[in-house]
Structure 1
Amino acid sequence: MKSMECTVTDGKKQIVVQPAAMTVFLQNKMVEAYDAKGSVYYLVFFKNEYLTTWKAESLRRRSFLEKACKYGVVYQSPHPFIREVLSSQTSYHKRSLSQLRGKFQGQHTTQETALMLTFFDAFVSKKELFKEIQSFYYQHRRSGQLFLGYRIIRLLQDFTPKHSWVKQMANDMEFSSFKDLYQRSAPELWEKDPIYMEKAHFYARKNSENTTRLLQFLKEEKRWAEAFSLMVDLISRYNAEAYYKELLQWLKLYYDKEEQLAVLEDLYDRAPSIKRLQEDLLEMYLTENKLENALILIKRHHLALEGKNEAALENMLATMDLHTGSIPLDELSTYIVPLYETQPQKAEKILQKCVHQLLSDRTIQDIMNWLAPVREKYQSSPTVKQMDKMKKLREDPDKQRELGEMLYEFNQLDQAIECFSWEMELNTTDPEPVRWLSKIYLDLGKEAESKAYQDLYRKMQKANA
């Protein structure tokens, strides 16, 4: 997939940035991007909503961003999930924290606003953010909204768990009934405090019931990047293959073939041992004519080819050109070796084709070296035996006609001409090399040369009669 660019607007200045990675963690998405000078920017999102862009002069440690990278899912650009979040057609306005406060208050609850403020502790003083969030608690306290105030306390327990004020308030007896709700993870909290329940279920996602409920919640909110990332996390971190089938179904609904392949390649990098994923990737590589990727996968996992996959590989190998540089030629023989374990006839056909092409511009000794991995395990290979025989014939000047016949079988007509010409000079009365030369020149479309040798062949036959 091609990399993308997007535009950040800072006042009257427009900055073109290129996304490098995106981290998805709970309700946050953070896109790391670079401008032409190498400066780092972070585009910050709350759920599906863009908030602001922050230029990273330096990053504070033990921040939300650091936690997100540790517990969330990080995607490298280009990745379809990043394109799901960003658009090259949109200009992303850089807002200050004070501008964000006004935006938050008009569109979000105080709890959501407090949560969004925690996203910025890598860039802004934690003390400043704490005071702002603390003010929401006092606002609810003055209004007698104890539960709303307690939701802010719960959020601060994550943000500044060691703060003495937070510890004191969390243990205040007037919140004991609310505290019991959270300790029991009561179902009604999905209505009363979905932010907390999403977090609690995420951290307990190894439990299938929690995962099912969390996925349902994310789908209800149409937060597809988060839903897909949860599945990716479960598959890669816990080897939960059960979610692979569901992820695949969703990918086929939302993305084209190229994007599906990009997602599966990323997933394979995280969880290469999943058999179904290996097989699906192989099928896609063969469908998309990605021979090198297919051969690497076959070698790495000793994959067997069946049905349409077998036919697709055969077709690709029948039309491949080893001289284009798109195939890792020096390693190709090592990719063929595993095929001998599952499909020796198929492997032999591939090997034969490779040798056919290699003979046009490589010496027999070069090809012998190239065949070493195959010879090491499968000395009985007919192609290996042919090449061993050709090497011996090459070293024997009295066997050039036999070598020429073998080269002809490999369609190496120019080299065969050299052999038969040598044989013709060595045995001036033997018409057989002349007959071969006439045949080969005809195959090459050189009718005049072919006719000249054909005439000479007839004269020699009459002279020997």
Structure 2
Amino acid sequence: MENLECSIADGKKNITIHPQRMAVYLQSKIVEAVDNNRNVYYLFFFKNEFLAALKAASIRRRSYLEKAFKHGMMFPSTHPFCRTILSSETPFQKRSFNQLHGKLQKQYTPHQTAYILTFFDAFIPKKKLFKDIQTYFYQYRRNGQLFAGYRILWVLLDFTPNHSWVKQTVNDLEYAKFKTMYKEMAVELWEKDPIHMEKALYFKRKKNPEKAEALIDFLINENRWIDAAALLMNQLIRTSGIEKYNRLKQVLETYYPKQDLLVVLEDLYQRSPSLEPLQKDLLHYYLTFQQLNHSISIINEHGFSLNEEQWTAFENMLETVSLDSGNTQVEKLNTYIASLFKTQPDKAEIILQKCVKQLMERHDLSYISKWLIPIKEISSRSLVVKRIEQMKQLSDDPDKQQQLGELYYQFDMLDQAIECFSWEMELDKSDPLPVRWLSKIYLEAGKEEESKAYQQLFRNMQKKANA
């Protein structure tokens, strides 16, 4: 996939940025990007909604930003998840803290605003953030909204757990009934304080699978499928399971076309290569999209036995794909060609011819002879096999270079054929046959001047012979 390029609006100017990676952490997504001068920017999102773009020289220790990139799920900028998030808005607005705070107050509830403010402790002094959040608590308290105020206290408790005022206030007797509700993680908190419930379950998910399932259900119901998928991927990395994998695939198939789905599965495979259903799905997509090298790699890596439909797809790919680019992993194909000789020897011979030609570009005849061993065991009558064995015998015999040149020509290896016929011509200057071959091969190689020269030499030799 092509690298992404976005822009940040900074006053009247736009800054081009190149996203590098994205962290999915709690209710945020944070994209790290660099501009053309290697300045680093962070794009903050609450759930899927863009908040602000901030420039940073470094990441402050123990900040929310550091935790996000240390404990969150990381995805490269080429990942479909990152591309989905970055497609939401462009250019992205660079905002001062006052501008950001004003936006939050207009767009979000006080509770959401208080929580979102904790994202920015890498950029804003923690004391200032604390006081701004504390202001919401006092507003609720003055209005007699005890539970609303208690929710703010829990934001502060997570933000500054050792702050004496927070620890004392959260334990006041007037909040006793709320404290029990939070301690027991009462079901009604899903409705009354979803921010706290989501955060609490996020940190309990590793020890309590039921909590993880409840959190995933909540995220899907909120249409936060990237968060749900990232959480499922995180679970699969730690403990493989067919049910988790099927649920992840169901989520992905709902929102992504197959090409993007393949990219997501490849990313998961890099993190969890031992997941068998994932391996099989990747093979399916590689065959579907005719990605020969990837098909070869995963078949070899996991020793897959192909079913009839897969064999047909693989064979058709081998038969139609161009091997001339030199990018195909021909070295790994010998066992599959050998198997094909059992059922379709004619097709196998065509594919073998193409593969051997490609191998000649990169290997000597001894290597190719060894590579052919599985095929020899199945079909010693193969014309390609016979030619290679004959070439191997002739390669060290200076008196047989013309025969060797003809065999190289059969594999369309024109440079090697020219070398052989040139050697033969030097050995016997009276023999016109190597000269005739050289004229023919140079013409096929597109070297008309050389071809004409050897053609004239051939005519002169004929005239001399007939004189």
TM-score by length of 1: 0.80
Q: How does 1:55-454 map to 2 (within 5 A)?
A: 55-87=55-87, 90-206=90-206, 207-328=208-329, 332-333=330-331, 335-336=332-333, 339=336, 353-359=354-360, 366-369=364-367, 374=371, 380=377, 382=380, 387-396=388-397
Check the 8 A contact 1:5/1:88 in 2, yes or no. Answer: no
Deviation at 1:378, TM superposition (A): 8.6
Check the 8 A contact 2:365/2:391 in 1, yes or no. Answer: no
Letter in 1 for 2:312: A
**Structure 1 residues 126 and 319, CA gap change in structure 2 (3 angstroms):** same
Moved more, 190-199 or 140-149: 140-149
Letter in 1 for 2:108: H
Deviation at 1:23, TM superposition (A): 0.9
Deviation at 1:146, TM superposition (A): 1.8
Moved more, 140-149 or 39-48: 140-149
Alignment partner of 2:295: what SS? helix
- Kindly indicate whether residue 43 of structure 2 is the aligned counterpart of residue 43 of structure 1: yes
**Structure 1 residues 415 and 51, CA gap change in structure 2 (3 angstroms):** closer
Deviation at 1:135, TM superposition (A): 2.0
Deviation at 1:104, TM superposition (A): 2.2
Alignment partner of 2:265: what SS? helix
Alignment RMSD, CA only?
4.2
Alignment partner of 2:309: what SS? helix
How far, CA to CA, are the matches of 1:82 and 1:64 in structure 2? 20
Check the 8 A contact 1:27/1:46 in 2, yes or no. Answer: yes
Deviation at 1:370, TM superposition (A): 5.4
Deviation at 1:407, TM superposition (A): 5.9
How far, CA to CA, are the matches of 2:367 and 2:256 in structure 1? 44
**Deviation per residue, 1:188-228 (Å, 9 max, x gap):** 11111101111122223344432332222222222222122
Check the 8 A contact 1:302/1:339 in 2, yes or no. Answer: no
Letter in 2 for 1:285: Y
Check the 8 A contact 1:64/1:122 in 2, yes or no. Answer: yes
Check the 8 A contact 1:235/1:241 in 2, yes or no. Answer: no
How far, CA to CA, are the matches of 1:5 and 1:379 in structure 2? 53
**Structure 1 residues 310 and 130, CA gap change in structure 2 (3 angstroms):** same
- Kindly indicate whether residue 9 of structure 2 is the aligned counterpart of residue 12 of structure 1: no
How far, CA to CA, are the matches of 2:175 and 2:415 in structure 1? 92
How far, CA to CA, are the matches of 1:13 and 1:31 in structure 2? 21
Deviation at 1:112, TM superposition (A): 0.9
Alignment partner of 2:324: what SS? coil
Check the 8 A contact 2:202/2:215 in 1, yes or no. Answer: yes
How far, CA to CA, are the matches of 1:339 and 1:164 in structure 2? 70
Q: Which runs of 5+ in 2 are unaligned?
A: 445-467
Check the 8 A contact 1:304/1:342 in 2, yes or no. Answer: no
Check the 8 A contact 2:118/2:159 in 1, yes or no. Answer: yes
Check the 8 A contact 2:153/2:166 in 1, yes or no. Answer: yes
Deviation at 1:41, TM superposition (A): 0.8
**Deviation per residue, 1:250-274 (Å, 9 max, x gap):** 3233222321121111111111111
Deviation at 1:404, TM superposition (A): 7.6
Residue number in structure 1 paired with 2:449: none
Residue number in structure 2 paired with 1:451: none
Check the 8 A contact 1:6/1:18 in 2, yes or no. Answer: yes
How far, CA to CA, are the matches of 1:170 and 1:404 in structure 2? 90
How far, CA to CA, are the matches of 1:130 and 1:74 in structure 2? 28
Check the 8 A contact 2:50/2:89 in 1, yes or no. Answer: no
**Deviation per residue, 1:313-362 (Å, 9 max, x gap):** 2222223344313325xxx42x3367589878599766554113444x56
**Structure 1 residues 101 and 396, CA gap change in structure 2 (3 angstroms):** closer
Alignment partner of 2:24: what SS? strand
Deviation at 1:411, TM superposition (A): 6.8
User: Structure 1 vs Structure 2: percent identity of aligned residues?
Assistant: 47
**Structure 1 residues 208 and 351, CA gap change in structure 2 (3 angstroms):** farther
How far, CA to CA, are the matches of 2:238 and 2:70 in structure 1? 12
Higher RCO, Cα 8 Å, sep 6+: 1
How far, CA to CA, are the matches of 1:164 and 1:272 in structure 2? 47
Check the 8 A contact 2:22/2:82 in 1, yes or no. Answer: yes
Deviation at 1:281, TM superposition (A): 1.3
Check the 8 A contact 1:304/1:343 in 2, yes or no. Answer: no
**Structure 1 residues 131 and 88, CA gap change in structure 2 (3 angstroms):** closer
Deviation at 1:299, TM superposition (A): 2.4
How far, CA to CA, are the matches of 2:45 and 2:6 in structure 1? 15
Letter in 2 for 1:213: A
**Deviation per residue, 1:427-463 (Å, 9 max, x gap):** x9xxxx99xx9xx99xx9xxxxxxxxxxxxxxxxxxx
Moved more, 313-322 or 226-235: 313-322
**Structure 1 residues 400 and 41, CA gap change in structure 2 (3 angstroms):** closer
How far, CA to CA, are the matches of 2:2 and 2:414 in structure 1? 43
How far, CA to CA, are the matches of 1:224 and 1:402 in structure 2? 66
Moved more, 271-280 or 87-96: 87-96
